[in-house]
Amino acid sequence: MIEKIEGIVVAEKSYGETSKILDIFTKEYGIIGVLSKGCKKMKSPLRSISSKFTYGVFYLYYKENKLSTLTSVDVLHIFKNIKSDISKISYASFLLELASSTFRQNQNNEIYDLLIASLLKIEEGFDPMVITNILELKYLNYLGVMPSVDACVLCGNTKNITTLSSIRGGYICTNCLTTEEIVSSKTIKLIRLFYYVDIAKISKLEIGNKEKMEISRFLDDYYDSYTGLYLKSRNFLRDLNKI
């Protein structure tokens, strides 16, 4: 029996000479393995849709805990803008890997919804670094290592927040400050906004380069220190940002 399942292809690998196995992050069943039989053939109707970033309704012979088989896809979005820009596709590829890794640690459907919302915002033209940082921060909650962005991580003070420390785990107030590097007051406000904002409802983003770099550096260091996730695409992004 064929099932209709919404999802997005997050990874692909060759299977034999003419086929692929797709990892599809689905709204209903999480991440599932799907055989796209014969999709490498030039005349295959599955050729164009058996690749990363295909987002749509997949028609599958679904087998629980086994390899399912793809029959067709109703594409919901082709992400044309993302695929035509090396920077956007690099950030989007990182988000696919991050979402997959996060879901494997916490099978919460919101992880899927946040991924799709983020990709759509990058496709709309919003700054891919900022959207990526917003999603990174939100995912820390599902990874069980959310930094303190409501009060000083050391004393609980909600006033006189002076900086943001990846090593200490979030906000630091004036009384608890020792040798931590001081960040912009805008960065302190933005990191909290990033956590609470509804990605799908973002309509305007105006963030200075200094604040973007401070937030990005904080999240990079925080992920390295607390999550245990080592993603190949993150290293590529770091190299890209140095160019």
* Superfamily of domain 2-78, CATH level 4: Nucleic acid-binding proteins (2.40.50.140)
All CATH 2.40.50.140 domain ranges in the chain, comma separated: 2-78
Classified by CATH at the fold level, domain 81-242 comes out as de novo design (two linked rop proteins) (1.20.1440)
Terminal C-alpha separation, the chain: 50
Q: What type of residue is 26?
A: T
* pLDDT tens digits along 44-58: 999 999 999 999 999
* pLDDT tens digits along 81-124: 999 999 999 999 999 999 999 999 999 999 999 999 999 999 99
The CA distance from 82 to 175, in Å, is 45
Q: Do residues 39 and 50 touch, judged by C-beta distance below 8 A?
A: yes
* pLDDT tens digits along 184-234: 999 999 999 999 999 999 999 999 999 999 999 999 999 999 998 888 887
Q: What is the pLDDT of residue 243?
A: 53
65: Cβ–Cβ under 8 A, 6 or more apart, which residues? none
95: Cβ–Cβ under 8 A, 6 or more apart, which residues? 115, 118, 119, 132, 135
All CATH 1.20.1440.120 domain ranges in the chain, comma separated: 81-242
In 3D space, the residue among 54, 61, 53, 8 whose CA is nearest the CA of residue 37 turns out to be 61
